[in-house]
Copies of this chain bind each other. A is one copy, B any other.
Amino acid sequence: MRNCGARAPPPIAFGQSTAILAAIALLTKAFGIIASLEHVEEAKRLRLASLLSDAVGWDGLVAGQEIDVNGRDRLVGATDVEELNWLKTGVLFVAAAEMGAVLRGMDDTRIEAVKRFARHFGVAFQTADDLLDLNGSTGELGKDVLKDGSKATLVSLFGANRAHLSCEEHLAHADEALIESGVDAAPIRELVQRLFKKYKAAHP
């Protein structure tokens, strides 16, 4: 889970037990908010709740955190690291994008394109994050530098050059999927560019 750059993360600011309870309260509230979206069809609300449950639960974010906290030493190759990145970051990127597509009433083909966009965008983001971490560029993607320094990442496995190429490829695939999805691409591209601004400056 992300830290907060200059601000102390909640476990330090408020104590661990309060931070954990706050996380549980916020997660619980998310389902309450979804359930009470009165302007959204009931079937859609239920679909959103299922999506969020799958993304966060034991096949999603929780699995990623468990591996990250207790199973890092068992990550031996690129497949393991990619799986961890998917569980820790990718599932939530995809779930967030998919929920937007469902709310928008898109058909399954367009939803699949939106999910593909989010998946590639998520991998690119994670790789850029690892590269910035390697370079020690403080908090540019919103997390603490060298926090992941001792952990196996795609950068430590493949080297910075190949990781950089991979990042660019995933950004290109994300853009293709964005076009295929038929959504208004301009504001999304602007968002992507803003998020990758510091990374692009460091890797022209």
Contacts and interface: CB of A to CB of B under 8 A. Distances in A.
Given A45-B46, A49-B31, A50-B36, A58 B17 contact: no
A43 B37 CA distance: 12
A148 interface: no
A177 to B, nearest CB: 27
Q: Work out how many copies of this chain go into the complex.
A: 2
A27 B29 contact: no
A45 B49 CA distance: 11
B62 A17 contact: no
Contacts of A27: 24, 27-28
Interface stretch (A63-71, A117-125, A150-158): A63-71
A69 B28 contact: no
Nearest to A46: B35
Contact of A42 (B17, B24, B42, B54): B42
Given A42-B43, A42-B46, A46-B45, A53 B70 contact: no
